Structure formats: structure tokens, C-alpha cells
Amino acid sequence: MIDATTSARSTAASVRAGKTRARDVVAGALERIARRDAALNAFTAVLGERALADAEFLALLRELFGERVASAREAGLHDFKTRLQERAARRRLHVRYAVVHEEGPDHDKTFEIAAHIGDREYARGVGKTKKEAEQRAAESALRVLDTEP
């Protein structure tokens, strides 16, 4: 199965190259993307990163999914793990999270998680769940990346 990002890039390239009409190709792909929130978020990320030149394609996107794309973009503003993954992917690097420390009884644990990009540890985060600690580590890693050239 082709992931949403690959599908979106392929569709956009086909339209820009004039190989097919935007309305014919894009409508079907966008309907499939709209059915899955994760796929829509990935597609929204592609749109946010790429300035697509085809005005007809962009108009169709706005017409079909304007509200959902805006909503997905807004939700993604606070998803630090996704944002970190996208930034690392642009550098062709992999993000991974590792539990550094956990303490407390099972019903009240605290986790410390390190965010690694490539071979380097960028930041750590602490939280009551692994997910919360990963989000905090990703948020801190994004701040570190913002200071790098």
C-alpha cells in the first residue's frame, strides 16, 4: 500500500507535469486521504512544506478539504513528535525515543525519555506516561534544532 505522502507527491507531480487533469486524478486520491485522519495529517504536512504551482490543483484542494486541512494543521501545531519527525525526514534522518529512566509504582510511574535524531541525543522529556514524556522530549528537541544553523 502506498502511504499518503508518497501518493500526494506522485499526484502533485503528475498534475504539474501536465500528464493528467487535476480534477480527474486528485479527486480520487483526496477522497481516500480524507477517510483516514493520519493520512490527512501527512498530506497536510506535504502541503505545508511544498509550494505547489498548479492553481487548479490548489483550488480543488481548498474546495474539497479546506476546513479539514485547516483543522488538521491546527491539531498538528501541538503534536511535537510529528513535527520533529518531519524536520528529521527533511534531513533524511531517523528519530527514535528511548526510555532513560522510570520510577515509581506501576500506578504512578514517571518516565524520562531521550529523543535521538540520527546518532545524536537531542533532548530529554519527563512525563507521567511514555507518550507525554516523548512529546516533551520532541518539543525540547525542536527548540534545540531551532538554534542550530
Please name which of 49, 107, 54 lies closest in space to residue 82, comparing C-alpha atoms.
Answer: 49
In sign, the C-alpha dihedral spanning 15, 20, 25, 27 is positive
Mean pLDDT of the chain: 76
> Which cell is 33 given?
486521504
Which of the two residues, 134 and 3, has the higher pLDDT score? 134
Q: What is the mean pLDDT of residues 122-126?
A: 96
Find all residues with CB under 8 Å of 104, minimum gap 6, and list them: 110
Tell me the per-residue pLDDT of 5-35, one tens digit each, with 9 for 90 and over. 666 677 667 667 776 666 665 556 556 555 5
Tell me the per-residue pLDDT of 132-146, one tens digit each, with 9 for 90 and over. 999 999 999 999 988
Return the pLDDT at 16: 72
Q: What structural domains does the chain harbor?
A: 4-76 (no CATH), 80-147 (3.30.160.20)
What is the rounded CA–CA span in Å between residue 115 and residue 118?
10
Which of 24-38, 58-72, 122-136 has the weakest average pLDDT?
A: 24-38
